[in-house]
Structure 1
Amino acid sequence: MKLMSSPTSPFVRKVHVLLHETGQYEAIDIYAKPTSPFDTAPEVATANPLGKIPALIREDGPTLYDSRVICRFLDDHAKAGLYPDGRIWETLTLEATADGIMEAAVLMLYEHKLRPAEAVLDSWVDAQWSKIERAVSALNARWMSHLRGPLDMGQIAVGCALGYLDFRHDARGWRKGNDALDDWYAVFSQRESMKLTAPADAV
């Protein structure tokens, strides 16, 4: 299998962390293909008509895309149990919350990176950050018992989301008022899978 990837995408990082946690990383060919809404790599567009990464190219079936689909497939492939039946809805909701944080954070980046300075709408950027603030506050208030439990895909997604906030929007300070989540992330970010997949530069 081949994974269309990017060194800075938080959605790709989710897949990479899963691959390391489940011992599948060496079995997947990783192709770094950075892409953006205005400059889609042809290989990415061929793999995923939406022009987004990650995309998992399989020899025995159609290409899979959307990080949640890919992670669910790879977890099943390894029989790793990162989507445990006993708390499946909580795990999926936690993953969706983390993905929403990532999406809002990426849109904030695109607003400044892809638009001319005079066209940037700061109020729209602030609205995206408000979504992130609400989600992070909810994680801190409602989800700590789950985050402190056995490893699952919800935890991996949250770890990658918080890592992306540090990488792209550190100055906004997601940790303020979220001490329990900050403490959890300080430990979770030291997992070998997280250290091996940390974004290296601001491409």
Structure 2
Amino acid sequence: MYQDVLIPTDGSDGTRRSIEHGLAIADQFGATVHALSIVPEGPLGTLEAEEATPAAHRAVERVQLEAEAAGVDVVTAVEHGVPHEEILDYTDAHDIDMVIMGTQGRTGLDRVLMGSVTERVVRMSDTPVVTVRLTEDLRIEDADEAERLARDALEAEGYDREAPLTEQPHRTSASWIVPVELADERVHVHVDAVSRETRVARPPQ
């Protein structure tokens, strides 16, 4: 019934539950998950263009990591354009059977924009759209605490807990990503901001 499930993500906390729902549906039907993030342009453009592209890649990385852990096939894409138009175009181009979206975006202006994007996709899509709200409270909102848990995870897996960071921890999809430089490779330690679970992963190349 469902072969391809699309999860648009902006990396905000509100996408956490849409990722969970999308992966559960894909797992049930043996479907492929498509993780899509849009770098906004045009009338919905962001004033933080330089930060938007790496943030978009981190957002789809989070979905990829969760999908791989769940044994679900996944493909990722980052596009540039007007968000709802890019989501609709991707849906048509890849024969998507279901779109699963969060109704809350980032705080401030972006939160308003995320709600607007979801509303437009629901109204204009010929493909079924499932909307999901974030209902869980974050337990980790401090980067220092996320880094401490990440270093605990490194030590537990036999890595150097004092390894240097390649950049500061950042939060995406209600999880912290802590980038670390080990002796022979770079890894990302993902720390779930709700459950406090950790996972050491190699970032996509």
Normalising by the residue count of structure 2, what TM-score does the alignment of the two structures yield?
0.30
Q: Could you tell me the TM-score, scaled by structure 1's length?
A: 0.31
More strand as a share of residues: 2
Higher relative contact order (CA 8 A, sep 6+): 1
Structure number having the greater helix percentage: 1
